[in-house]
């Protein structure tokens, strides 16, 4: 897999640290050759083990200390290497080399993650996904540590521990794992209404992506770009996947969590191994400083997005992930992202959430990785040389030379010496500040309902239905009526009909008012009334860019197609369909009654990819059943095939059958969906391909919900 062509300067640097046991003798850590690693040293064949046994002690001690603390949030993650290429210079906005030099290929390491669950939790939790990118630039490392949703739950870093404590397993019973559907989370959300925007995104399909390769990424905060003249523009960063933004249904998420909880991790790994490199375009929304106060929301408020219809996203470059890590722990686990890692040409704003993050990430690495020298871990090393007077600490790997470790000095010739700004020396943007020191929140942050409402209005009917289902499920899992009622009242502030549906589903009435004032967290001495969210306002009827119905539906590459077969399947049907699917780079998987090989009616043998008992419908994007009398007869004997097809129908997937396979379809709910454009009977393979490219036939959903599987 580690082909030479996928080697960036970062990979070459990492290779200097790689250790390969191939063709080598087993030794202790001191290099002493070992001749027995199965038996400890004992006093006699049946005697006690001896303390003297340095080989045993070393092996066990090392094992005892293998674990490091998992990340407090974003513990579950998957990483990959790749590169970023700039298509169009934006030197008028930024002097950063990565934004001005179109000839560069900047190496990147990306880590995707869920937020709430532990390291071993399911990939398919309803959750935000982390989307963290480390750019190893020629001017130092830049980390863009974002999420797959364009906004965050809270406006001030001060509330982050509360938010996280509320969503994590409840502290008395450590339940539930990787799930937001519980009392403490909704207790918090219902009291802190600034959470409602990110929360409705979590109720949407964005929280259950089909693949990490099929989600957008966002830097969330407003950052600054600084040009050569020192002029600042505000900027929001967007990652747009070339495969489009696609999601699965909640029913599938629940089932995939049981069938293959590594679903996303495996999907990313397999795509890269197959040479189907995931790609994202990098887009920027740029706002001149003069427009800072032009909008109905505050650019410093991280719970607000700037609709693309108001400020277009300008695509400036592309990221490609083309190489899997060699070692999960050394790379994906030890990588340390810091929003504070920026390079000249990029700068921060006063977003109070961002400001807190600038402290938190370095702080957390100190306990997670155990030393201020965590930047020396190979995956965290910059590509450019680093020289300074910071010294010592646990696990210092370098050997700094010379007598001096201070500045200024004469004894070391004044080295390492400073850089002028014109030589690339970093200088912070000189923002004018003239203010009182005050512990409060800007009133311009008080609109909590307009953007959740805009998001909901912008979605298609099926996306809105999924949101109603998600609210109903999550609140249905809470046990305290006063929390659920508060939530109903708040949902009503977003959308009346949505609240009515959820209220019906959870069997509670929407209260006329709520008893306790919200947002008390402003501060004991401040006037709580001043900080109540106002009624929603409508500054944009819809933002079509927010709906997944308007995403790309172009490709079937890497889509997993389940082909249901038994001995005697029609090779004519199969070969025709397989050729068409393979041309589109879909992945054809043969599912047969048992493992091993399956033989077609022309006696050619095919390797079985999965026995029906070991796999599930939810792991595939579409189903194809070739004809062949003998094959179909055998499939009819297994009820799991019926379930498999019914589930694919329920999840609105494309299904194609040929000839005798009609008998099998008759035994399923497929018989009621013969006019469905994504249920193709003896159809043209091209029609099947365009149905798969559409991801799902969501129009089927209303009727298909009633399929009892």
Please count the residues of this chain forming the interface with ligand HDE, following the rule CB under 6 A: 25
Which member of 145, 203, 316, 490 binds ligand HDE (CB under 6 A)? 145
Cβ distance to ligand HDE smaller for residue 157 or 562: 157
Distance separating alpha carbons of residues 414 and 400, to the nearest angstrom: 15
Query: What is the DSSP track for 603-659?
Result: --EEE-SEEGGG--GGG-SEEEE---HHHHHHHHT-HHHHHHHHHHHHTT-EEEE-T
Site string for ligand HDE, 51-90 (x = CB under 6 A): --------------------xxxx--x-------------
DSSP bridge partners of 319:
84, 280
361 binds ligand HDE (CB under 6 A): yes
Distance separating alpha carbons of residues 452 and 199, to the nearest angstrom: 9
157 binds ligand HDE (CB under 6 A): yes
Cβ distance to ligand HDE smaller for residue 71 or 486: 71
CB 548 within 8 A of CB 695: no
Cβ distance to ligand HDE smaller for residue 368 or 694: 368
10 binds ligand HDE (CB under 6 A): no
Three-class SS state of 484: helix
What's the half-sphere exposure (Cβ side, CA atoms, 13 Å) at 206? 27
147 binds ligand HDE (CB under 6 A): yes
Quote the least distance from Cβ 365 to ligand HDE, whole Å: 6
Tokens of 687: 């029609």
Cβ distance to ligand HDE smaller for residue 145 or 256: 145
Q: Which of residues 249-308 bind ligand HDE (CB under 6 A)?
A: 302
Contacts of 508 (CB under 8 A, 6+ apart): 481, 484, 485, 488
Site string for ligand HDE, 328-357 (x = CB under 6 A): --------xx---------------x--xx
Quote the least distance from Cβ 79 to ligand HDE, whole Å: 8
Q: Which stretch binds ligand HDE (CB under 6 A): 142-150, 240-248, 402-410, 604-612?
A: 142-150
Cβ distance to ligand HDE smaller for residue 199 or 357: 357
Distance separating alpha carbons of residues 600 and 46, to the nearest angstrom: 59
Does 74 qualify as catalytic in the annotation?
yes
CB 275 within 8 A of CB 585: no
Neighbours of 371 (CB within 10 A): 16
Quote the least distance from Cβ 127 to ligand HDE, whole Å: 12
Which residue's C-beta sits nearest to ligand HDE? 130
Distance separating alpha carbons of residues 206 and 98, to the nearest angstrom: 29
Q: Is 78 exposed, middle or buried (0-12, 13-18, 19+ CB in 10 A)?
A: buried
Q: Is 496 exposed, middle or buried (0-12, 13-18, 19+ CB in 10 A)?
A: exposed
Cβ distance to ligand HDE smaller for residue 113 or 646: 113
Quote the least distance from Cβ 360 to ligand HDE, whole Å: 4
Quote the least distance from Cβ 227 to ligand HDE, whole Å: 24
372 binds ligand HDE (CB under 6 A): no
Quote the least distance from Cβ 348 to ligand HDE, whole Å: 13
453 binds ligand HDE (CB under 6 A): no
Q: Which stretch binds ligand HDE (CB under 6 A): 43-51, 359-367, 474-482, 595-603?
A: 359-367
Which member of 89, 360, 500, 505 binds ligand HDE (CB under 6 A)? 360
Which member of 132, 202, 248, 491 binds ligand HDE (CB under 6 A)? 132
Which member of 152, 201, 277, 462 binds ligand HDE (CB under 6 A)? 152
What's the half-sphere exposure (Cβ side, CA atoms, 13 Å) at 36? 8
Does 380 qualify as catalytic in the annotation?
no
Which residue is catalytic, options 6, 74, 246, 651? 74
130 binds ligand HDE (CB under 6 A): yes
111 binds ligand HDE (CB under 6 A): yes
Site string for ligand HDE, 173-212 (x = CB under 6 A): ----------------------------------------
Distance separating alpha carbons of residues 636 and 663, to the nearest angstrom: 8
215 binds ligand HDE (CB under 6 A): no
In 102-166, the DSSP E strands lie at: 105-114, 129-137, 140-147
Distance separating alpha carbons of residues 481 and 478, to the nearest angstrom: 8
Residue 287 phi, psi (nearest 5): -125, 120
N-terminal to C-terminal alpha carbon distance within the chain: 39
Quote the least distance from Cβ 145 to ligand HDE, whole Å: 5
Quote the least distance from Cβ 447 to ligand HDE, whole Å: 19
Q: Which stretch binds ligand HDE (CB under 6 A): 56-64, 140-148, 223-231, 423-431?
A: 140-148
473 binds ligand HDE (CB under 6 A): no
Three-class SS state of 470: helix
Quote the least distance from Cβ 115 to ligand HDE, whole Å: 8
Distance separating alpha carbons of residues 197 and 109, to the nearest angstrom: 29
Distance separating alpha carbons of residues 704 and 391, to the nearest angstrom: 64
Cβ distance to ligand HDE smaller for residue 76 or 651: 76
Which residue is catalytic, options 147, 198, 227, 324? 147
Cβ distance to ligand HDE smaller for residue 130 or 307: 130
Distance separating alpha carbons of residues 661 and 681, to the nearest angstrom: 9
Quote the least distance from Cβ 353 to ligand HDE, whole Å: 5
Q: Which stretch binds ligand HDE (CB under 6 A): 51-59, 139-147, 518-526, 606-614?
A: 139-147
Distance separating alpha carbons of residues 239 and 149, to the nearest angstrom: 11
Cβ distance to ligand HDE smaller for residue 167 or 498: 167
325 binds ligand HDE (CB under 6 A): no
CB 339 within 8 A of CB 143: yes
Distance separating alpha carbons of residues 384 and 375, to the nearest angstrom: 12
- Taking CA atoms, 571 is separated from 115, 370, 588, in Å, by 46, 59, 14
Cβ distance to ligand HDE smaller for residue 70 or 699: 70
What's the half-sphere exposure (Cβ side, CA atoms, 13 Å) at 282? 24
Tokens of 594: 């048992």
| Residues that bind ligand HDE in the complex, under the rule CB under 6 A | 71-74, 77, 111, 113, 130, 132, 145-147, 152, 157, 160, 220, 302, 336-337, 353, 356-357, 360-361, 364
The residues carrying an active-site annotation are 74, 147
């Amino acid at each position: 897999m580690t082909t030479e062509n996928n080697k960036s300067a970062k990979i070459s640097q990492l290779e200097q640290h790689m250790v390969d046991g191939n063709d080598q003798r087993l030794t202790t850590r001191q290099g002493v050759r070992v001749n027995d690693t199965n038996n400890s040293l004992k006093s006699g064949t049946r005697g006690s083990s001896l303390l003297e046994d340095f080989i045993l002690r070393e092996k066990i001690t090392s094992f005892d200390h293998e674990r490091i603390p998992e990340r407090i949030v974003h513990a579950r993650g998957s990483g990959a290497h790749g590169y970023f290429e700039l298509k169009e210079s934006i030197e008028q906005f930024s002097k950063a080399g990565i934004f001005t030099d179109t000839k560069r290929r900047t190496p990147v390491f990306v880590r995707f993650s869920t937020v709430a669950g532990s390291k071993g939790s399911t990939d398919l939790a309803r959750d935000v996904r982390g989307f963290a990118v480390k750019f190893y630039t020629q001017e130092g490392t830049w980390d863009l540590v974002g999420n797959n949703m364009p906004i965050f739950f809270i406006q001030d870093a001060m509330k982050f521990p509360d938010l996280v404590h509320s969503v994590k397993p409840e502290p008395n019973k450590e339940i539930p794992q990787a799930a937001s559907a519980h009392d403490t989370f909704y207790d918090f959300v219902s009291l802190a209404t600034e959470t409602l925007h990110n929360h409705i995104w979590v109720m949407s399909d964005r929280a259950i992506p089909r693949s990490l390769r099929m989600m957008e990424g966002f830097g969330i905060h407003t950052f600054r770009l600084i040009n050569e003249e020192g002029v600042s523009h505000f900027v929001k960063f967007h990652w747009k996947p070339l495969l489009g933004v696609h999601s699965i249904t909640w029913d599938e998420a629940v089932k995939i969590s049981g069938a293959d909880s590594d679903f996303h991790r495996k999907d990313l790994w397999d795509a890269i191994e197959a040479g189907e490199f995931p790609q994202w375009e990098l887009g920027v929304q740029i706002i001149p400083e003069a427009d800072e106060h032009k909008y109905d929301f505050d650019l410093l408020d991280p719970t607000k997005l700037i609709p693309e219809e108001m400020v277009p996203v300008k695509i400036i470059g592309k990221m490609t992930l083309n190489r899997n890590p060699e070692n999960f722990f050394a790379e994906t686990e030890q990588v340390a992202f810091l929003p504070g890692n920026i390079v000249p040409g990029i700068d921060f704003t006063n977003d109070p959430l961002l400001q807190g993050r600038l402290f938190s990430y370095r702080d957390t690495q100190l306990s997670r990785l155990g030393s201020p020298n965590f930047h020396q871990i190979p995956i965290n090393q910059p590509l450019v040389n680093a020289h300074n007077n910071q010294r010592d600490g646990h696990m210092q790997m370098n050997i700094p030379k010379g007598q001096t470790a201070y500045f200024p000095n004469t004894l070391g010739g004044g080295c390492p010496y400073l850089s002028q700004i014109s030589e690339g020396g970093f200088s912070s943007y000189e923002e004018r500040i003239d203010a009182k020191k005050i512990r409060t929140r800007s009133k311009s942050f008080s609109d909590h309902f307009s953007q959740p409402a805009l998001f909901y209005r912008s979605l298609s009917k099926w996306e809105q239905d999924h949101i109603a289902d998600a609210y109903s499920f999550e609140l249905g899992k809470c046990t305290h009526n006063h929390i659920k009622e508060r939530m109903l009242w708040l949902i009503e502030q977003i959308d009346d009909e949505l609240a009515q549906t959820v209220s019906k589903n959870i069997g509670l009435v929407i209260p006329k008012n709520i008893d306790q004032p919200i947002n008390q967290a402003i501060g004991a001495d401040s006037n709580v009334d001043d900080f109540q969210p106002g009624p929603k306002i409508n500054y944009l009827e819809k933002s079509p860019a927010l709906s997944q119905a308007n995403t790309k539906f172009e490709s079937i590459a890497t889509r997993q197609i389940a082909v249901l077969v038994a001995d005697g399947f029609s090779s004519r049907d199969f070969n025709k369909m397989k050729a068409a699917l393979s041309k589109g780079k879909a992945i054809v998987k043969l599912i047969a009654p048992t493992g091993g090989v399956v033989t077609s009616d022309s006696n050619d043998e095919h390797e079985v990819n999965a026995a029906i008992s070991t796999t599930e419908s939810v792991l595939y994007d579409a189903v194809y059943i070739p004809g062949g009398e003998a094959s179909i007869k055998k499939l009819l004997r297994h009820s799991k095939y019926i379930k498999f097809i019914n589930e694919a129908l329920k999840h609105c997937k494309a299904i194609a059958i040929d000839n005798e396979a009609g008998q099998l379809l008759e035994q399923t709910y497929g018989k009621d969906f013969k006019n469905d454009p994504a249920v193709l009977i003896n159809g043209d393979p091209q029609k099947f391909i365009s149905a798969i490219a559409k991801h799902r036939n969501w129009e089927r959903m209303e009727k298909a919900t009633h399929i009892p599987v």
